[in-house]
Amino acid sequence: MKLIKIFIIGAALLFCYCGALFAMELQEGFSGIKWGTEVTNLENLKKVGSKNKVDYYIKPGVIHTFDYVKIPLVTFGFYAGRFFAAYAHIETPEVFAQMKQYVQSRYGIPIIKFTSESGNPTEYRWKKDKLKLKLKVHKYTGKMKLGIYYTPISRLVNESQQERYNETAFKFLPKDKPITPAYVPLLEF
């Protein structure tokens, strides 16, 4: 009986240690790339696209693992040449559920966002220290992914995208001081 108690306590401690190790590992970087690393310092990356000053790369031929689950496609995001995001593309609902459970066991209860007409959650969010994790299901296509963001740089991305939006958005009211309109009579008798 004493041996069983020691085994259970040892297993619990190992589980907690592995969870802390995973969380600590993500705080440092993802898949061997440290957050903020310059893309020019990395080898074996293939550029797959760009959008709004963010460049996206993959590591061809590399299969990533996440909680012993093989993830064949991970996209790395670089803003101003610095690594700030990783997107793990998920292929099945079973893997999605497993990843949700795994991240939830390490980061706690997520904030849940509902945007689909079916009433199902479309996004789970976690935030810890300098990381933000989002587990998403696209409401129209059903594509699933886990996004891991390094917030010191992702904040800069959000700010630049907001500035770009403000520059191109249609404005109903002027931002300057209000100008008193001149009164023009509509009808004169």
Average pLDDT rounded to a whole number, residues 169-188? 60
Highest mean pLDDT among 11-25, 135-149, 175-189: 135-149
Structure tokens at 158: 């959000």
* Residue of 139 and 20 predicted with greater confidence: 139
pLDDT digits (tens, 9 = 90+) for 43-96: 889 999 998 889 999 999 888 887 788 888 999 999 999 999 999 999 999 999
Q: How confident is the model at residue 165 (pLDDT cuts 50, 70, 90)?
A: low
User: Rounded CA gap, 40 and 43, in Å?
Assistant: 8
Alpha helices in 29-130 (DSSP H): 93-107
Q: Where are the beta strands (DSSP E) in the chain?
A: 29-30, 33-34, 46-51, 54-58, 64-66, 69-71, 74-79, 82-90, 111-113, 123-128, 131-137, 144-150
Q: Please give the mean pLDDT across all residues of the chain.
A: 79
Is the pTM of the predicted complex or chain greater than 0.75? no
Which has the closest alpha carbon to 86: 43, 45, 123?
45
76 bridge partner residues: 57, 86
* pLDDT above 60 for 1: no
186, pLDDT greater than 80: no
CB 78 within 8 A of CB 35: no
> Taking 50 as the threshold, does the pLDDT of residue 20 lie above it?
no
Greater pLDDT, 9 or 128:
128
| Rounded CA separation 28/18 (Å) | 15
Q: Per-residue pLDDT for 40 more than 80?
A: yes
The pLDDT value recorded for residue 11 is: 42
Which carries the bigger pLDDT value, residue 107 or residue 161?
107
Task: Give, rounded to a whole angstrom, the gap between the first and last alpha carbons of the chain.
Answer: 104
Average pLDDT over residues 130-153: 92
Mean pLDDT of 180-187: 68
- Structure tokens belonging to residue 21: 């190790």
pLDDT at site 123: 92
Residue ranges of domains in the chain, CATH in brackets: 2-163 (3.40.1000)
Place of tokens 């074996």: 44
Give the pLDDT band (50/70/90) at residue 175: low
Answer for the pair 174, 65: CB distance below 8 angstroms, yes or no. no
